[in-house]
Amino acid sequence: MKMKNQLVWPIFYKVDPLDVRRQSGMFGEAIGKLERDYSEMVPQWKEALFQVSNLVGWRYGTE
């Protein structure tokens, strides 16, 4: 997004953006499982997801 000056419109499908930001709930559990196999990449993914969760986006299927 920042490196290539891309426009991002996040869509949070069946997940609360707050869970993505805090990496908690079922979302946090899933990230925890990924850390076992992708320990070097997960910190970058977490940072990217944190940044995206702070953008204005659409929630779908969470109510």
**What is the tens place of the pLDDT at every residue in 5-59?**
888 888 888 888 889 899 999 889 999 999 989 999 999 999 988 988 888 766 7
CA distance 57 to 10: 5
The encoded tokens of residue 40 equal 């070097």
- Residue pair 57/21 in contact (Cβ under 8 Å)? The answer is no
**Residue 58 has what pLDDT?**
65
CA distance 38 to 30: 12
Phi, psi of 59 (to 5 degrees): -105, 135
**Residue 42 has what pLDDT?**
94
**Residue ranges of domains in the chain:** 15-60
- The conformation of residue 55, written as its DSSP 8-state character, comes to S
The encoded tokens of residue 29 equal 């559990």
